[in-house]
Amino acid sequence: MIKELYFAELYEQYKNLLSPQKRKIVYEYYILDLSLGEIAEGNAVTRQSVNDALKKARAQLLELENALHAAEKYAALGAFAEKLKKECPSLYGEFATLLKD
Protein backbone atom coordinates (compact mmCIF):
# COMPACT_ATOMS: atom_id res chain seq x y z
CA MET A 1 0.00 0.00 0.00
CA ILE A 2 2.78 2.44 0.88
CA LYS A 3 4.53 1.68 -2.39
CA GLU A 4 1.28 2.36 -4.25
CA LEU A 5 0.99 5.77 -2.56
CA TYR A 6 4.60 6.53 -3.40
CA PHE A 7 4.00 5.93 -7.10
CA ALA A 8 0.81 8.01 -6.95
CA GLU A 9 2.88 10.86 -5.48
CA LEU A 10 5.54 10.44 -8.16
CA TYR A 11 2.82 10.46 -10.80
CA GLU A 12 1.53 13.79 -9.50
CA GLN A 13 5.02 15.29 -9.65
CA TYR A 14 6.08 13.95 -13.05
CA LYS A 15 2.90 13.13 -15.00
CA ASN A 16 3.65 15.72 -17.67
CA LEU A 17 6.94 13.98 -18.45
CA LEU A 18 5.27 10.65 -19.24
CA SER A 19 3.98 9.75 -22.68
CA PRO A 20 0.20 10.15 -23.05
CA GLN A 21 -0.27 6.36 -23.07
CA LYS A 22 1.79 5.81 -19.92
CA ARG A 23 0.16 8.80 -18.23
CA LYS A 24 -3.31 7.38 -18.88
CA ILE A 25 -2.45 3.90 -17.66
CA VAL A 26 -0.68 5.14 -14.52
CA TYR A 27 -3.60 7.47 -13.79
CA GLU A 28 -6.13 4.67 -14.19
CA TYR A 29 -4.10 2.26 -12.04
CA TYR A 30 -2.85 4.49 -9.21
CA ILE A 31 -5.41 7.28 -9.08
CA LEU A 32 -8.63 5.59 -10.20
CA ASP A 33 -7.56 2.27 -8.63
CA LEU A 34 -8.61 0.20 -11.64
CA SER A 35 -7.31 -3.35 -12.05
CA LEU A 36 -5.01 -4.38 -14.89
CA GLY A 37 -7.95 -6.20 -16.48
CA GLU A 38 -10.21 -3.16 -16.28
CA ILE A 39 -7.55 -0.94 -17.81
CA ALA A 40 -6.86 -3.46 -20.56
CA GLU A 41 -10.55 -3.76 -21.40
CA GLY A 42 -11.08 0.01 -21.40
CA ASN A 43 -8.10 0.59 -23.68
CA ALA A 44 -8.64 -2.41 -25.97
CA VAL A 45 -5.22 -3.88 -25.16
CA THR A 46 -4.02 -6.99 -23.39
CA ARG A 47 -3.52 -7.21 -19.66
CA GLN A 48 0.15 -7.99 -20.32
CA SER A 49 0.62 -4.79 -22.33
CA VAL A 50 -0.87 -2.80 -19.44
CA ASN A 51 1.48 -4.56 -17.03
CA ASP A 52 4.47 -3.85 -19.28
CA ALA A 53 3.51 -0.18 -19.62
CA LEU A 54 3.17 0.12 -15.84
CA LYS A 55 6.59 -1.43 -15.30
CA LYS A 56 8.16 1.00 -17.76
CA ALA A 57 6.30 3.95 -16.28
CA ARG A 58 7.36 3.03 -12.72
CA ALA A 59 10.98 2.77 -13.86
CA GLN A 60 10.72 6.15 -15.57
CA LEU A 61 9.12 7.76 -12.51
CA LEU A 62 11.85 6.39 -10.24
CA GLU A 63 14.52 7.58 -12.65
CA LEU A 64 13.01 11.06 -12.70
CA GLU A 65 12.79 11.19 -8.90
CA ASN A 66 16.37 9.98 -8.53
CA ALA A 67 17.53 12.75 -10.85
CA LEU A 68 15.27 15.63 -9.76
CA HIS A 69 14.10 14.79 -6.21
CA ALA A 70 10.89 16.83 -6.67
CA ALA A 71 8.68 14.50 -4.63
CA GLU A 72 11.25 14.39 -1.84
CA LYS A 73 11.48 18.19 -1.77
CA TYR A 74 7.68 18.54 -1.89
CA ALA A 75 7.34 16.22 1.13
CA ALA A 76 10.03 18.15 3.02
CA LEU A 77 8.25 21.45 2.31
CA GLY A 78 4.98 19.96 3.55
CA ALA A 79 6.60 18.79 6.77
CA PHE A 80 8.22 22.20 7.27
CA ALA A 81 4.88 23.92 6.64
CA GLU A 82 3.18 21.81 9.31
CA LYS A 83 5.93 22.60 11.81
CA LEU A 84 5.75 26.30 10.97
CA LYS A 85 1.96 26.28 11.28
CA LYS A 86 2.22 24.96 14.86
CA GLU A 87 5.15 27.07 16.00
CA CYS A 88 4.55 30.38 14.24
CA PRO A 89 1.16 30.81 12.55
CA SER A 90 1.92 34.32 11.24
CA LEU A 91 5.03 33.11 9.39
CA TYR A 92 3.06 30.11 8.14
CA GLY A 93 0.63 32.49 6.43
CA GLU A 94 3.48 34.24 4.63
CA PHE A 95 5.05 30.90 3.71
CA ALA A 96 1.77 29.55 2.33
CA THR A 97 1.32 32.71 0.25
CA LEU A 98 4.80 32.34 -1.22
CA LEU A 99 4.15 28.73 -2.17
CA LYS A 100 0.94 29.65 -3.99
CA ASP A 101 2.76 32.13 -6.26
DSSP string, 61-73: HHHHHHHH-HHHH
Give the predicted TM-score (pTM) of the model: 0.78
Q: Convert the pLDDT of each residue in 56-98 to its tens digit.
A: 999 999 999 999 998 899 889 889 999 999 999 989 988 888 8
At residue 16, the pLDDT reads 97
Q: pLDDT at position 95, please?
A: 87
Angle at the Cα of 10 (from 4 to 13), degrees rounded to 5?
150
Given a cut of 80, whether residue 1 has pLDDT beyond it is: no
Residue 101 reports pLDDT greater than 70: no
Q: Give the model's pLDDT for residue 9.
A: 92
Q: Give the pLDDT confidence of 13-67 residue by residue, as tens digits.
A: 999 999 999 999 999 999 999 999 999 999 999 999 999 999 999 999 999 999 9
Q: Give the Cα separation of 52 and 25 in Å (integer).
A: 11
Which burial class, exposed, middle or buried, applies to 89 when counting CB atoms under 10 A from its CB (0-12, 13-18, 19+)? exposed
